Amino acid sequence: MPDSLTLPDDPRAARRLKNLLDVRRIYLEPAVTGFARGREVLARFPDAERVEVASHWRIPELFGNEGGVKDWVRNKRTVLVLGVKKGLAMRPNGRSADFIAPSASNGCALACVYCYVPRRKGFANPITTFVNIEQICASIGRHAAKQGPRTTPGQTDPAAWVYDLGENGDASVDALVSDNIRDLTTLFRGLPNAKGSFATKYVNRDLLGYDPQGRMRIRFSLMPQRAARLLDVRTSPIAERIAAIDDFVRAGWEVHLNFSPVVVYEGWTADYAELLRHLDEVLSPAAKAQAKAEVIFLTHNEALHELNLGWHPAAEAMLWAPRLQETKLSENGQQNLRYKAALKAKMVRMFLDLIRDNAPWCEVRYAF
């Protein structure tokens, strides 16, 4: 692993990368140094202050520190947490994947305003990298072996069991910190009945050299640039994500489109029609032939709304729309806000019509 982050040739991308991560402090559990991955990451940031903590979940300066909202972005840029993943069980899913794999990370250096992870972690949400990657990979491998061949096609994939690897972070960004995603790619390259999958809002061209051989699915998250400029803070521009799609297809990645979250605002349908027409114009026949999409309308949360008002109130003018939203109890017991059921059903149909009219080659795996 290199001693520092490798800067890309594009000067603008190089500046963004330098601004994205400048690790000054590392919180680490005592067991971290007993793992090769932990020692590798620590060696990568030799000048960072090290603060030992009993648990990566219990860091008073970060989680539960209400005053930390004002340092929301600074913490993401300058703080890294290293821990050992305890729970290694798979969870059934059925939408983005068949199973949610144990996370190789939690939190993110990006600052998407609608992200649900801060609802659980409190007032700071930097990257937590889990250093026991060998155990994580072994648990996935054992689980896949127990599944056997996939004999019945499903909406996730016609022939492979799909494992989501990025439920609580952005794997493309994680790859800037450690080789965890490279190791997971190597794992799935050797599993004949399974694929790995993750959604991303960051173009990390180092992944083009991972040689996934079709066993990894990257889902580029897309929304109109007008909304992304306000909501997708610290991410790669939408145009850059779209421009990367063909490169990833050529490099052996399966590339899907992740229209998530779909946010409703004045003019949203016209903006999405323009985005879909652009995709139709610029993507190659090879990219279109393998592309599929998922469509997920915004789920918001009153606590997250209050938190966001402390660091990015302008975004809440687009996300917070009580006249369009209603409270719904989530599977984990939280009170979330979603678009009103009847209205949302109508908007989902509208979105599917937009795809049919502007990008008819794009099969939608699911929409809700």
- Predicted confidence at residue 67, as pLDDT, reads 57
Does residue 46 form part of some domain? yes
Does residue 2 form part of some domain? no
Sorted by sequence, the CB contacts under 8 Å of residue 115 that are 6+ apart come out as 108, 125
Residue 2 has pLDDT above 50, yes or no: no
Report the residue count for the chain: 368
Does residue 108 form part of some domain? yes
How confident is residue 122, by pLDDT bands cut at 50, 70 and 90? low
3-state secondary structure of 26: strand
Inter-residue contact 249 to 286 (CB < 8 Å): yes
Does residue 103 form part of some domain? yes
Residues 248-288 have pLDDT tens digits of: 999 999 999 999 999 999 999 999 999 999 999 999 999 99
Residues 30-83 have pLDDT tens digits of: 999 999 999 999 999 999 999 999 999 989 888 766 656 778 899 999 999 999
Does residue 253 form part of some domain? yes
Q: Domain range holding 24?
A: 11-367
What is the Cα–Cα distance from 262 to 272, expressed in whole angstroms? 9
- Predicted confidence at residue 364, as pLDDT, reads 98
- Predicted confidence at residue 124, as pLDDT, reads 77
Residues 186-242 have pLDDT tens digits of: 999 999 999 999 999 999 999 999 999 999 999 999 999 999 999 999 999 999 999
Residue in this structure with the two tokens 């990390």, named with its chain if needed: 204
Residue 128 has pLDDT above 90, yes or no: yes
**Mean pLDDT, rounded, of the chain:** 93
Q: How does DSSP assign 227-286, residue by residue?
A: HHHHHEETSPPHHHHHHHHHHHHHTT-EEEEEEEEE---TTHHHHHHHHHHHHHHHS-HH
DSSP 167: T
Does residue 4 form part of some domain? no
- Predicted confidence at residue 61, as pLDDT, reads 85
- Predicted confidence at residue 16, as pLDDT, reads 63
CATH number at residue 145: 3.80.30.30
Q: Residue 285 is encoded by which pair of tokens?
A: 């026949």
Cα separations in angstroms, 295 against 223, 275, 298, 344, 366: 11, 14, 10, 12, 6
Domain count, the chain: 1
Burial profile 87-118: b = 16 or more Cβ within 10 angstroms, e = fewer: eeebeebeebbbbbbbbbbbbbbbbbbbbbeb
Pick the closest to residue 235 from 216, 252, 222 (CA basis). Answer: 222
| Amino acid making up residue 289 | A
pTM of the entire structure?
0.94
CA 201 vs. chain centroid, Å, equals 7
Does residue 245 form part of some domain? yes
3-state secondary structure of 190: coil
Mean pLDDT check: name the lowest of 61-65, 84-88, 152-156, 317-321. 61-65
- Predicted confidence at residue 3, as pLDDT, reads 43
Residue 4 has pLDDT above 60, yes or no: no
Q: Identify each DSSP E strand in the chain by its residue range.
A: 25-28, 49-52, 79-83, 91-92, 99-100, 105-106, 111-112, 127-130, 161-164, 194-200, 216-221, 232-233, 254-262, 292-297, 299-301, 325-329, 335-339, 363-367
3-state secondary structure of 92: strand
Inter-residue contact 144 to 194 (CB < 8 Å): yes
What is the Cα–Cα distance from 274 to 156, expressed in whole angstroms? 27
Query: Which of 3-7, 274-278, 306-310 has maximum average pLDDT?
Result: 274-278
Residues 134-159 have pLDDT tens digits of: 999 999 999 999 999 999 999 999 99
Does residue 1 form part of some domain? no
